[in-house]
Amino acid sequence: MIIDYQSAALIIVDVQNDFCPAYTSGGKSRPTGSLAVAGGGDVCVPLNAVAEQFVERNGKVIATQDWHPKRHASFASVHPGKKVGDFVELDAVQSQILWPDHCIQGSEGARFHDDLNIDLANLIIRKGSNPLLDSYSAFFENDRQTTTGLDGYLKAFSISTVFLGGLATDYCVFYTAMDALRLRYTTYVFTDAVRGVDYPKGSVEQVLSAMEVTGAGMITTSDILQN
Ligand code: VGL
Ligand code: ZN
């Protein structure tokens, strides 16, 4: 496929230790993340390769980081009597699913996976910092109105096409893709460079077809790396 890199961005979503199973990198061991997604760390190699190509050809590389305060409203631990996987109503959002504590600002779990080449990123967007509101999408918090600034950044560079990979397929990647489509970006998802929570069961399959039906191109990193 032919890409105009000047008008394209790679968005690497939430490739952070808390979303990854235990791994060793550069002689250093990391424990399993609190919200580990099966095969989470496997996205680093293909995403690094695509990011290198974007940098060589002057496309933008953006990474997002889930970045929660200690007592975030999406944590089951702050809702007495609730457990992980339960739902609560928040002021701005109906049916917030509850997660284990994860990606706490400045913690090891919030750091990018050691194998992700973050030096290739032009921009890092941190999201989920409002204690009362979750933020899955790289574009908007879950009220679907509060911007992260990403849309303004992309527009400032006249970027009209986005390529997505990272974690988790059925949450942050999915919400990012749907917002990108809503904002009329030409949107591609690297199916080999995403991994999902799959909770509730079947949600990965469901979001993959929802993204495709809504207009996202489902491609693999090799489709890009060949040319
Ligand atoms: C995510 C659940 C909670 C994600 C973030 O990155 O997909 N999932 N916070
Ligand atoms: Zn989160």
Q: What is the pLDDT of residues 155-209, one digit of tens each?
A: 999 999 999 999 999 999 999 999 999 999 999 999 999 999 999 999 999 999 9
Residue 20 catalytic? Answer: no
Asked whether 207 lines ligand 1 (CB < 6 A), one says no
Q: Is the predicted pLDDT of residue 1 greater than 90, yes or no? A: no
Give alpha helix (H) positions in the chain: 44-56, 150-156, 174-182, 203-214, 221-225
Domain ranges of the chain: 5-68+102-225
Instruction: Mark whether 82 is an active-site residue.
Output: no
Report which residue type is found at 166.
G
- Which tens digits make up the pLDDT trace of 206-223? 999 999 999 999 999 999
pLDDT band at 92 (very low <50, low <70, confident <90, very high): confident
Closest CA to 97 of 212, 20, 175: 175
What average pLDDT is seen over the chain?
Answer: 97
Q: Compute the distance between CA of residue 138 and CA of residue 130 in angstroms, rounded to an integer.
A: 14
Residue 14 falls in the annotated catalytic set: yes
Q: What number of residues does the chain have?
A: 227
Ligand 1 neighbour 168 (Cβ under 6 A): yes
Q: Which of 20, 44, 103, 172 is catalytic?
A: 172
Q: How confident is the model at residue 227 (pLDDT cuts 50, 70, 90)?
A: low
Which pLDDT score is estimated for 93? Answer: 82
Q: What is the pLDDT of residue 91?
A: 81
Class of CATH domain 5-68+102-225: alpha beta
Measured in Å, how far apart are the chain's first and last C-alpha atoms? 7
Locus of tokens 């790289």: 138
Ligand 2 center from residue 57 Cα (angstroms): 32
The CA 77 to ligand 2 mean position distance, Å, reads 13
141 lines ligand 1 (CB under 6 A): no
Let me know: does 74 contact 141? Beta carbons within 8 Å.
Answer: no
- Cα(126)–Cα(28) distance, rounded to whole angstroms? 25
Burial of 17 (0-12, 13-18, 19+ CB in 10 A): buried
Mean per-residue pLDDT, 16-41 = 97
